[in-house]
Amino acid sequence: MKPQVLILCTGNSCRSHLAEGILRAAAGDLIDVHSAGSKPAGFVHPKAIQVLQEIGIDISGHHSKSMNEFLAQRIDTVVTVCGNADQACPMFPGQVHRYHWGFDDPAHATGTDEEVLAVFRRVRDQIRLVFEAYAAGLRAGKEL
């Protein structure tokens, strides 16, 4: 059975889905990746879907989920990507590792459509750097 990684954010509409898509693309053969929110927004932000499609990752089938859906599951690693989720994150049964890697929330971006997309792309690229490095560590046999 593959190790289970859960990526948490508050709304589970942007950052956690960006991270889930990127980590699944980079290490999905080694781990099972999920995302959820402490207060799910009920949707995946269309611009999150768009900016991942730009790099060849399809999350159009994702949906916003509550972290409570995972409480009864074995979760090996929890990664929070926003401060609110880090504070709200419960201990999961069997949880071995917990990381907090915070990123700006692109859903709060304002301006023209291009300016908002630029923020989504910047956050996507930051998340990509961190989660692809994490996947490289997994491939090198480092801890989850």
Residue positions annotated with a catalytic role: 9, 82, 89
> Both ends of the chain: CA-CA distance in Å?
14
- Phi, psi values for residue 96, rounded to 5°: -105, -40
**Torsion, CA 81, CA 83, CA 88, CA 90, rounded to 10:** 50
What is the torsional sign of CA 143, 78, 71, 96?
positive
